[in-house]
């Protein structure tokens, strides 16, 4: 938890986050957290991808998505597509800052942040994308969104500890229970519209989004998922959807729950993600 806060002013929109500098020649990691979490999801003490990346020499930024942390909420349509449009501008600004030092960008997305990262990877960009690593997202939901559809889309929902234990974490023994208290500062209310989309339109839109991704893909889904059908077959089906990607690595992460990063297996998975990012470039010596 050493990263410093940043603010990106994009006209009438503000995007906040945390940032760590890195070595020249290393790809810039842009991390996008999921629903119910702000940028600090990736920087929880003892479970910090940001800290591990810093030690490996990566420049890394974890962003507060619109409506999370200090970032301006979306006006009008609240959707993954609109999240991606706003973050595309924020990432363009970050790329301008790192242009002379980094060979390109690797997106790291968790849960809803993974869906948004894939929208970014599938869309038009003004910055070079090297690859994308996503976790905690699929297209076969275990949950229904029907009960939420009657509520105003911008209504904010805050997960209770009971919900976190039920949906975000695996069974006892897969994580240290103390992580929920340590990660409290990373929690952020989530708009109802995002929870409706992730179990609804996203599942229908995924195949089209995946087919437009033309960079290497790294994917992991937890064994003990609270939101998605998790099996070797479902993971393979997700990976097979990236028909235009030059390479796809997809596997089921045994011993983990939805918030993979905050489980005992998180450290090994962070290494795997960083190894993926390193392999996309030849670092300067």
Length of the chain: 285
Our count of domains for the chain comes to 1
Residue 96 maps to which CATH number? Answer: 3.40.50.1820
In a domain, 199, yes or no: yes
In a domain, 183, yes or no: yes
In a domain, 285, yes or no: no
pLDDT in tens, 35-46: 999 999 999 999
pLDDT in tens, 184-227: 999 999 999 999 999 999 999 999 999 999 999 999 999 999 99
In a domain, 90, yes or no: yes
In a domain, 9, yes or no: yes
**Residue range(s) defining the domain that contains residue 268:** 4-279
In a domain, 284, yes or no: no
Measured in whole angstroms, the distance separating CA 273 from the mean position of its chain's CA atoms is 12
| Total-model pTM | 0.95
Contact (Cβ atoms closer than 8 angstroms) between residue 25 and residue 275: no
Has residue 282 got a pLDDT over 80? no
Strand 60-63's sheet: what is its strand order?
A: 4-10, 13-20, 60-63, 28-32, 105-110, 129-135, 217-224, 248-257
In a domain, 217, yes or no: yes
Q: The tokens of 8 are what?
A: 């990106």
């Amino acid at each position: 938890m050493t990263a410093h806060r940043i603010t990106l002013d994009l006209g009438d929109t503000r995007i906040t986050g945390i940032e760590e500098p890195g070595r020249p020649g290393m790809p810039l990691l842009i991390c996008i957290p999921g629903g119910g979490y702000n940028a600090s999801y990736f920087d929880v003490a003892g479970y910090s991808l940001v800290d591990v990346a810093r030690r490996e020499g990566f420049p890394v930024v974890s962003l507060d998505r619109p409506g999370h942390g200090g970032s301006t909420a979306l006006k009008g349509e609240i959707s993954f597509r609109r999240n991606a449009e706003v973050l595309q501008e924020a990432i363009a600004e970050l790329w301008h800052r790192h242009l002379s030092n980094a060979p390109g960008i690797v997106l790291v997305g968790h849960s809803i942040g993974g869906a948004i990262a894939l929208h970014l990877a599938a869309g038009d960009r003004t910055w070079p994308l090297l690859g994308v690593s996503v976790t905690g997202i699929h297209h076969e939901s275990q949950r229904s969104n029907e009960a939420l559809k009657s509520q105003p889309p911008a209504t904010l929902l805050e997960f209770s500890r009971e919900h976190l234990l039920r949906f975000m974490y695996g069974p006892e023994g897969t994580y240290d229970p103390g992580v929920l208290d340590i990660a409290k500062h990373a929690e952020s209310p989530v708009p109802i519209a995002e929870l409706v989309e992730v179990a609804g339109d996203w599942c229908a839109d995924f195949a089209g989004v995946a087919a437009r991704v033309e960079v290497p893909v790294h994917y992991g889904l937890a064994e003990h998922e609270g939101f998605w059908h998790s099996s070797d077959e479902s993971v393979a089906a997700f990976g097979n959807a990236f028909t235009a990607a030059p390479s796809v690595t997809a596997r089921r992460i045994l011993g983990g729950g939805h918030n993979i990063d905050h489980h005992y297996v998180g450290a090994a998975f962070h290494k795997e993600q960083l190894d993926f990012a390193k392999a996309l470039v030849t670092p300067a010596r």
